[in-house]
Structure 1
Amino acid sequence: MTPAELVAALHAEAERANERRLLTLAGARDRGLDAARDALGALDDPDATLLTTREGVGTHPNDADRLLGTTRDAVVLDCHDGFSANVLGRVVGAVDGGGLLVLVTPPLDAWPGSDYADERFAVPPATAADVTGHFRRRLVDTLRAHPGVAVVDVDAGTVERDGLTDPRPARSHAPPSVPSGAAFPPEAYDACLTADQADALSALERLRDGAAVVVEADRGRGKSAAAGLAAGSLAAAGRDVLVTAPAYRNAAEVFERAAALLGTLGKLAGRDDHTVTATGGGRVRFLTPVEAGGLPDDPDAVVVDEAAALPVRRLTAFLDAPAVAFVTTVHGYEGTGRGFDVRFRDRLAAGSHEVVDARLDDPIRYAPGDPVEVWAFHALLLDARPAATQLVADATAADATYRALDAESLTADEHLLREAFGLLALAHYRTEPDDLARLLDAPNLDCRALTVDGHVAAVALLAREGGLAESRRIDMYEGARVRGNMLPDVLTSQLRDLEAGRPVGYRVLRVAAHHAIRSTGFGSRLLDGCHAEFDAAVDWFGVGYGATPRLVRFWARNGYRTVHCSTTRNAASGEYSAIMLRPASDAGAALRDRHGRRFRARMRDGLSDALDDLDPDVARAVLRASDDAPSPSLTDHEWRVVAAAAFGPGLYDAAPGAFRDLAMAHLCDPDGRLDGRAERLLVRKPLQADDWKTVADDLGYVSTRQCMRALGEAYRPLVERYGTDAAEAERRRYEENG
């Protein structure tokens, strides 16, 4: 069979089965691109897209996002230069049933070699020569093994494998129908393409009754379209529907379907700038997750598209809406439904909404069992998941085995790789195919695990950072970005420490325990193993993450101390990030100590400026985790003012700076303890400088007068613990006068 005959056979087979086929054109780049053009020419006027880094030819791979939510008869991806697993994950879903995905690759035996290394993974001081080829070698193995994948050697002009599967002709989807007693318009159900989609739309009708509806599906099942039909139906009835997603592009299909339905119903009043307006006052509008979290303008319902790509804290905010739909991908490159289930289902069940579930299984654009989808799931581990619960549920941390998971071990054992990567995916709300490539190929990463009977019970991913040459540190200090050195970058460029990039450290990117054994010591035991193994080789361990009180306490228990709190919120999570360090050498201790001091000095005034909306419990946690034993420096006069406010008729306004300094001293003191409300009061009033009424209302005091008295009482143990002779004399004055 010639390559031209193969293309014709693949296309005919794909059309007959309503499936897709993958054509790999391996060899010299120019020959591969010419062969791709010939392959497209053999098709009947295809709607095709070429993605390549070549100037003036096709579309740049960086613009692959534009294919999301669209379909093509063929997509050609040039893998020779700038190949990205993320781009591959995005373009696969753009090929329609009967179409071809064409990969133009280097010779398959050479592709894993250093000449084609992904330079993005060459984190300084490493170079591209240090990047391994394990991910590309594994990818090549899947191309040579999976049904529906053809391989052509364009240099030799021969077919290595034809990829033909001799499938049965395509079966028709079960036709959708309008349910009896449907509340949404019949036109909405007429717009559904499968019975699955109509069932999901029927479940979404419960938004009218204040339910929380969860719609789960793999990509290409029409879940966003169903959400759009529901949003349009609600808008047609005069309701205000707020839609949010990690980015507008994720929810574009929701708006397309909502606008189309309103047009069919004759109720489309207008569409502009991420808003669809219906006659009668209803509308469908988009806001980012951070903007939407406060539920502005009191929407009647919220639709969260790609919900698994958002963190739990952000998802939880939407439970305050009158009705909410969480539309989520089960296996996807931005977030997984499995992670959504493990991390968020308990919060959802504990809420006040009745929970309604719907799942779409039938693909819309191609037949079930499509071999290209099966290949993509395997090659990119989109369906990776942790070990089965029963395999680790009764394990204890003391009985687990600490072991290294190097790339050779992971690629040699598919089950081990799937369990480890599945657990890493659950540890973060957004996991991409590039994370798999980075795990297998990046020279600065180390993966460690606790295993139980050979199954992964906990996993940690560490990134080596620092050890930078003086010239690179100077560049960083002057504003240059240095790839893969997040902690040295922040400490150098933002916090102005020219020496921060000299010590070598390990940043803990992720640490996760199986959900069946969480909070049983596995995470701490795994970190202990990492510290014991690497302490002699590095100066510090560090971590940066979206700060919550629980996470701060976890890291503090494991010896990490706060050195920074970001002054802007993460756009997706809405959280402020904390950076914490654990020293492993004198150089590491010096780094932690100087940045710890600077952190405490910044926070004294920063909490009333950029961090004036930081959650008081987060503020308490990050300050206490700075682990300082302070000696507040107040003048005798300031001590008398504070003592008088605590024990007598003194006023806070007479010396607010003194109250602020003493609040900082207490909150940073590892032995300082007041009850939670008293410490929140120390944050909200002296440190964040909120007005008395706001503080009283937010903390549950019946009046501003009671709030003022409570602040004075909160300072009594502080005066007794830290006060000088002047403070003691003032205290006795009021106690003796009774």
Structure 2
Amino acid sequence: MTEFSKFVDSIRHSIMLNKQRRLIVLQGERTWAIDLITQIEQLGHTVWLGDDGMSEFENRLGEDVQLVAMNKAQSVLGTETSTLVFDSYSGFNPDAFGKATGILKGGGVCFLITPAEGKWLDYNDPDYNRYIASPDQLTRVNNFFIQRLINQINQDQTVIKVRQEQALPVVELHPDEQGLAITEPAENSLQPLTPFANMQQQRSALEIIKTITGHRKRPLIMTADRGRGKTSVLGLAAAQLIRDHAVSHIIVTAPKIDAVASLFKHAVQLLPGAVCSKTDLKWQGKVIEFVAPDVIVTDKPKCDLLLVDEAAAIPTSMLTIIAQSFSRIVFATTIHGYEGTGRGFALRFMNTLVKLSPNYRQVELMQPIRWSENDPVEAFTNRILALNFKSVNYDSSIEGVNETLEFEKISQQQLLDKPQLLEQLFGLLVLAHYQTSPTDFRQLLDAPQLHIFVVKNQENIVATALVLEEGLFEEELAEQVWLGKRRLRGHLLAQSLMAQLGLQQAGQYKFARVMRIAVHPQLQRQRIGQRLNEFVKQWALKQHFDYLGASFGATAPLLDYWHALGYQAVRLGLTKDKASGTHSVMVLQPLSVASELLMKNARGLFVRSLRYNLSGDFNAIEPTLISSLSQNIVEPHLLSPLISHQDHINLTVYGQGQRPFEQINYAFDALFWQQPSQISLLTPAQQQLLVIKLLQQRTWSETTKLCEYNGKKLAQRAMKQLAQVLIDTTKHD
């Protein structure tokens, strides 16, 4: 047995009793580090994350070593291992590190392979490629994330550092006994054979079962930090309901289908003979199945119970529809994690849930199941990935802060130098957006051409905007992008205008894309976001940008917000994002005289595309979104010619009840498009009817159902009244 193998064995022996884990950092050449690990005689089951350069070592690793590419880290979720190797020579992917450390069980060791400390900052980390458009930009990438990581490694007394050409360190381990706390048994015991890891899990499963056996409209909120067995509890409780209660159909939804694999794995333990596929589990004529969030919202499938896993990573608008549409629901979410954040979930969604279901229930899983309390690897991971960063806390909404606000542009260097500033900023981003990942944290520190704007109230960050420079392509590159031969990372605005709208000249303009804009939830509706946007706009004008722009999942309230700031839509994505259930929309605001013509052309193409696709790819879009888009189509060159005198007569006769809709629908359509903004004069019910029947061309049966009319005749009568309203409010020859 080699000296290093003995060294690792002694560490494992010391930490095994209390289920603690340890991080061992191997600082030196890659071949040296790999050679050290392959010398370990009792390596055990090992998950090895790394991409290239492993072929020469594979024959020495043995059958127990599972090689996983960095971009495939998601595949290891739901498994566990006693040894983890993370090769940062393959790129320090923050999301991959967070996922990988979550599968390391108590008594396990994580080996982090890094360049020597003095050489790491000069190493061209392959992960940099995710933040640049082309290799020539590598020199402009910051190494602040790695600088901070090195500092965290050196400051953490629990991290064991092994340096090439130096003696092995002397390690004194003092296992923490606090992880052995005992929880009192639950009042109502489950069947003794159910494989729960601790009493908190057992209590939580009982609460899930009560969602079925108790009163309707009393949803359960289950929160947990990573590694607490949240998904396993969902699976075990679902299996008990299928096996022991009159429950035959349970639906599980989550942002990604991968989440249900672990759920099914645990459910099978209680359902002998169950047949599993990627999307469902069947047992004795009963089923637990996965349905994507967008399908849940659109189709509202019937079921006995709906389980929403990783609810924090689903937009609040979708969660609200789910809460309104289902009577028995469990919302489960991670407090700190790469899937989303429970803190933001609480602030964004709980206020809505209180109004919809004031008798909702809550349960929290706090005790780890794979490792002990106060685990060193968990604490280290949380720190380096900013998983526990918090924004400034306000106990309640506060008003009247506008007079004390300070608007600033800050640098990434300032974030590195001032940890409190970094925590407040990223904490706010996590709080404000439903999907903020550790990769976003690294991008915040390292991405080139990223500009950071903040609003402070008494030195506390209360709002922020992240703006990315785009555009200004060289002629040859611009042609390749326009022809669809090249796709660039970043450069979303210029690339979309060129490749999707066909506007080749867009590549010569300078764009400032607002990647994120966030205001603390308890200071919203005080025009802070509007003032911040104006601050960014003035900066962009001084820096000679041609456009301000943004791209986001389109909802009517969000689009109305951007319209109010002076932006106009130029593109609406043809397909829905499965996680958000929305079509992406791109908005622009021209800042130079030269950019006005391109904006005019983009708007013209957008309106023509919208009009054509409303009865096709856009025929299921929310009517409120179409109304919001229509209200802002006011430019003269976008409007259709006035309808003919004969069309006007036919519509008038239709409004009086003498013609069927199918004989005048073409004239009705022309009437609307000669002045789309008139839709703002209609009631919400009239807007919904106009969009669904006239623009999206739904059947009368669909229209009657979606608009909630008691029969086709009432819907037809309302349509005739609507025609008369438009005739009365629209100019005509």
Same fold flag (TM > 0.5):
yes
Q: Measure the CA separation in 1 of the matches of 2:577 and 2:33.
A: 42
Summarize the Cα distance change of 1:702–1:291 in structure 2 as closer, same or farther, 3 Å threshold.
closer
Candidates 687, 696, 699, aligned match of 2:695: 687
Q: Which residue of 2 aligns with 1:588?
A: 595
Q: Which residue of 1 aligns with 2:254?
A: 245
Deviates more, 1:672-681 or 1:624-633: 624-633
Cα drift, residue 304 of structure 1? 1.2
Summarize the Cα distance change of 1:308–1:269 in structure 2 as closer, same or farther, 3 Å threshold.
same
Summarize the Cα distance change of 1:710–1:9 in structure 2 as closer, same or farther, 3 Å threshold.
same
1:427–1:510 Cα contact (<8 Å) kept? no
Give the letter for the 2:146 counterpart: R
Q: Measure the CA separation in 1 of the matches of 2:23 and 2:200.
A: 27
Q: Measure the CA separation in 2 of the matches of 1:331 and 1:165.
A: 28
Alignment of 1:652-731 (within 5 A): 652-668=661-677, 673-725=681-733
Candidates 257, 264, 271, aligned match of 2:276: 271
Cα drift, residue 353 of structure 1? 7.1
Matched, 1:339 2:332: no
Deviates more, 1:411-420 or 1:658-667: 658-667
CA deviation string 1:704-723 (max 9, x = no partner): 34433433333345434543
Give the letter for the 2:607 counterpart: R
Q: Which residue of 2 aligns with 1:197?
A: 201
CA deviation string 1:564-594 (max 9, x = no partner): 1111111111111221111111233223221
Q: Measure the CA separation in 1 of the matches of 2:236 and 2:401.
A: 49
Matched, 1:72 2:81: yes
Gaps of 5+ in 2: 59-66
Q: Which residue of 2 aligns with 1:490?
A: 496
CA deviation string 1:339-372 (max 9, x = no partner): 1111111222222473111111111111100011
Give the letter for the 2:411 counterpart: D
Q: Measure the CA separation in 2 of the matches of 1:469 and 1:661.
A: 42
Candidates 633, 638, 651, aligned match of 1:642: 651
Q: Which residue of 2 aligns with 1:364?
A: 369
Q: Measure the CA separation in 1 of the matches of 2:472 and 2:403.
A: 34
Q: Which residue of 2 aligns with 1:403?
A: 408
Matched, 1:106 2:115: yes
Give the letter for the 1:606 counterpart: N
Give the letter for the 2:162 counterpart: V
Give the letter for the 1:200 counterpart: S
Summarize the Cα distance change of 1:152–1:609 in structure 2 as closer, same or farther, 3 Å threshold.
same
Q: Which residue of 1 aligns with 2:322?
A: 318
Q: Which residue of 1 aligns with 2:439?
A: 434
1:608–1:689 Cα contact (<8 Å) kept? yes
Deviates more, 1:433-442 or 1:464-473: 464-473
Matched, 1:553 2:554: no
Q: What's the secondary structure of 2:113's corresponding residue?
A: strand
Q: Measure the CA separation in 2 of the matches of 1:392 and 1:322.
A: 31
Summarize the Cα distance change of 1:6–1:142 in structure 2 as closer, same or farther, 3 Å threshold.
farther
Q: Which residue of 2 aligns with 1:46?
A: 44
Matched, 1:534 2:540: yes
Summarize the Cα distance change of 1:632–1:92 in structure 2 as closer, same or farther, 3 Å threshold.
same
Q: Measure the CA separation in 2 of the matches of 1:197 and 1:9.
A: 33
Matched, 1:147 2:157: yes
Q: Which residue of 2 aligns with 1:735?
A: none
Alignment of 1:150-549 (within 5 A): 150-154=160-164, 156-159=165-168, 164-169=172-177, 171-172=179-180, 174=182, 177=185, 179-180=187-188, 185-188=191-194, 191-208=195-212, 209=214, 210=216, 211-236=218-243, 237-239=245-247, 240-263=249-272, 268-279=273-284, 281-294=285-298, 298-319=302-323, 320-352=325-357, 354-390=359-395, 393-394=398-399, 396-479=401-484, 480-537=486-543, 538-549=545-556
Q: Which residue of 2 aligns with 1:568?
A: 575
Q: Measure the CA separation in 2 of the matches of 1:6 and 1:428.
A: 44
Q: Which residue of 2 aligns with 1:12?
A: 13
CA deviation string 1:543-565 (max 9, x = no partner): 11111111111101101111111
Cα drift, residue 294 of structure 1? 4.8
Deviates more, 1:76-85 or 1:454-463: 76-85
Q: Which residue of 2 aligns with 1:732?
A: none
Deviates more, 1:284-293 or 1:252-261: 284-293
Cα drift, residue 531 of structure 1? 0.7
Gaps of 5+ in 1: 726-738
1:642–1:715 Cα contact (<8 Å) kept? yes
Q: What's the secondary structure of 2:180's corresponding residue?
A: coil
Matched, 1:616 2:623: yes
Cα drift, residue 440 of structure 1? 0.4
2:453–2:466 Cα contact (<8 Å) kept? yes
Q: What's the secondary structure of 1:109's corresponding residue?
A: helix
1:148–1:164 Cα contact (<8 Å) kept? no
Give the letter for the 1:688 counterpart: Q
Q: Measure the CA separation in 2 of the matches of 1:196 and 1:546.
A: 37
Give the letter for the 1:28 counterpart: E
Deviates more, 1:405-414 or 1:127-136: 405-414
Q: Which residue of 2 aligns with 1:731?
A: none
Q: Measure the CA separation in 2 of the matches of 1:350 and 1:218.
A: 26
Deviates more, 1:648-657 or 1:134-143: 648-657
Q: Measure the CA separation in 1 of the matches of 2:415 and 2:156.
A: 20
Cα drift, residue 467 of structure 1? 1.3
Matched, 1:95 2:100: no
2:512–2:548 Cα contact (<8 Å) kept? yes
Cα drift, residue 162 of structure 1? 5.6
Deviates more, 1:385-394 or 1:446-455: 385-394
Q: Measure the CA separation in 2 of the matches of 1:391 and 1:573.
A: 28
1:124–1:468 Cα contact (<8 Å) kept? no
Summarize the Cα distance change of 1:187–1:178 in structure 2 as closer, same or farther, 3 Å threshold.
farther
Q: What's the secondary structure of 1:401's corresponding residue?
A: strand
1:381–1:433 Cα contact (<8 Å) kept? yes
Summarize the Cα distance change of 1:628–1:666 in structure 2 as closer, same or farther, 3 Å threshold.
same
Cα drift, residue 12 of structure 1? 2.9
Cα drift, residue 133 of structure 1? 0.3
Q: Measure the CA separation in 1 of the matches of 2:581 and 2:83.
A: 39
Q: Measure the CA separation in 2 of the matches of 1:696 and 1:666.
A: 26
Q: Measure the CA separation in 2 of the matches of 1:8 and 1:323.
A: 50
Q: Which residue of 2 aligns with 1:734?
A: none
Summarize the Cα distance change of 1:696–1:289 in structure 2 as closer, same or farther, 3 Å threshold.
closer
1:458–1:511 Cα contact (<8 Å) kept? yes
2:309–2:331 Cα contact (<8 Å) kept? yes
Deviates more, 1:556-565 or 1:344-353: 344-353
Cα drift, residue 4 of structure 1? 5.5
CA deviation string 1:57-97 (max 9, x = no partner): 43322222222121111111111133311111111112111
Give the letter for the 1:20 counterpart: R
Q: Measure the CA separation in 2 of the matches of 1:271 and 1:81.
A: 35
Cα drift, residue 613 of structure 1? 0.7
Q: What's the secondary structure of 1:500's corresponding residue?
A: helix
Cα drift, residue 169 of structure 1? 4.9
Q: What's the secondary structure of 1:251's corresponding residue?
A: helix
Q: What's the secondary structure of 2:507's corresponding residue?
A: coil
Cα drift, residue 391 of structure 1? 10
Q: Measure the CA separation in 2 of the matches of 1:149 and 1:338.
A: 29
1:631–1:722 Cα contact (<8 Å) kept? no
Summarize the Cα distance change of 1:178–1:718 in structure 2 as closer, same or farther, 3 Å threshold.
closer
CA deviation string 1:454-488 (max 9, x = no partner): 11101111121111122222222222321112222
Give the letter for the 1:132 counterpart: N
Give the number of aligned pairs.
Answer: 710
Deviates more, 1:515-524 or 1:247-256: 247-256
2:454–2:464 Cα contact (<8 Å) kept? yes
TM normalised by structure 1 equals 0.91
Q: What's the secondary structure of 1:465's corresponding residue?
A: strand
